[in-house]
Amino acid sequence: DDRGSDNLSYMDRVVMEVVESEAVYVRDLQQVVEGYLYFWRDEGERAPLSPEQAVALFGNVDDIYRFNSQFLTQLQSCGLDPVEVARCFVRNNSGFTIYTDYCTNYPRKVSVLTDLMRNEAASRACRERQTQLQHTLPLGSYLLKPVQRILKYHLLLQNIVKHCDRSQTPGYTDIIVALSAMTGIAHHINDMKRKHEHAVRVQEVQSLLDGWPGEDLTTYGELVAEGSFRMYGAKAPRHVFLLDRMLLI
């Protein structure tokens, strides 16, 4: 934008933050995709991780990079118009669903990376890449960025709504629709992460039940709550798991 920074209104700055933070984010995605994923893919058998580990670790980060690169180009063509920026979010609403898979499987990425860091050769390879790419942050911090970003969009849009003069903004409803859509995606992703964590927990409990006569625990629905209590006169505490269709003590 060719206006001097002194002439920018507060709203201009709020919109600018959305666009500029998106540009930084896309640059970070590029570092992960080209600096790590594609670099190691090109190394073939010399790579510090197997193709299966690479899939588990990076997931669909290259799809996210492609999607957000296009999204950034569209955002940059909006100037500093909050309504156009909002419409850009609405137009791309279905595209953001690629984050669900990445975020749901994020705990798995952490465990794969932890395993790699315990391996001396893999750990050294990660440090070497970090040095060559001149990153102050390690790979793990970059892999967290898509999770942080998708959960931040609704907050950035909230900021636009807060500083928007309803009566002076034709297209105000478009901004509300964008906020609603991105809030919905954030809720959906948090919900899927919670469901995923609960499913893993149920599998853990199942593996601890020696000689369990019933159906597999996963057939009793989602884990709703868990806790423990002490019975009068009993030494060991009782553990309680409430599933959709069973109370297990």
The average pLDDT across 221-239 equals 91
Q: Coil, strand, or helix at residue 69? A: helix
Q: What's residue 241's pLDDT?
A: 93
For 108-119, the pLDDT digits (tens) are 999 999 999 999
**Mean pLDDT across the chain:** 92
Q: Compute the distance between CA of residue 184 and CA of residue 198 in angstroms, rounded to an integer.
A: 21
The average pLDDT across 179-200 equals 91
Which is more confident, 163 or 7?
Answer: 163
Work out the pLDDT band at 7, boundaries 50, 70, 90: confident
Q: Which residue type, as a one-letter code, is found at position 166?
A: R
CB 172 within 8 A of CB 157: no
Q: What is the CATH number of domain 10-197?
A: 1.20.900.10
Chain centroid offset of residue 155 CA: 15
pTM, whole model, 2 decimals? Answer: 0.84
Judged against a pLDDT cut of 60, whether residue 194 lies above it is answered with yes
Q: Compute the distance between CA of residue 103 and CA of residue 168 in angstroms, rounded to an integer.
A: 38
Work out the pLDDT band at 82, boundaries 50, 70, 90: very high
Judged against a pLDDT cut of 50, whether residue 1 lies above it is answered with no
Q: Compute the distance between CA of residue 184 and CA of residue 59 in angstroms, rounded to an integer.
A: 23
For 143-173, the pLDDT digits (tens) are 999 999 999 999 999 999 998 888 777 889 9
Taking the domains of the chain in order of start, what are their residue ranges?
10-197, 209-248
Token pair, residue 91, equals 């137009």
Judged against a pLDDT cut of 70, whether residue 4 lies above it is answered with no
Q: Compute the distance between CA of residue 16 and CA of residue 76 in angstroms, rounded to an integer.
A: 9
Please tell me the least confidently modeled range out of 104-108, 167-171, 238-242: 167-171
Work out the pLDDT band at 5, boundaries 50, 70, 90: low
Q: What's residue 6's pLDDT?
A: 63
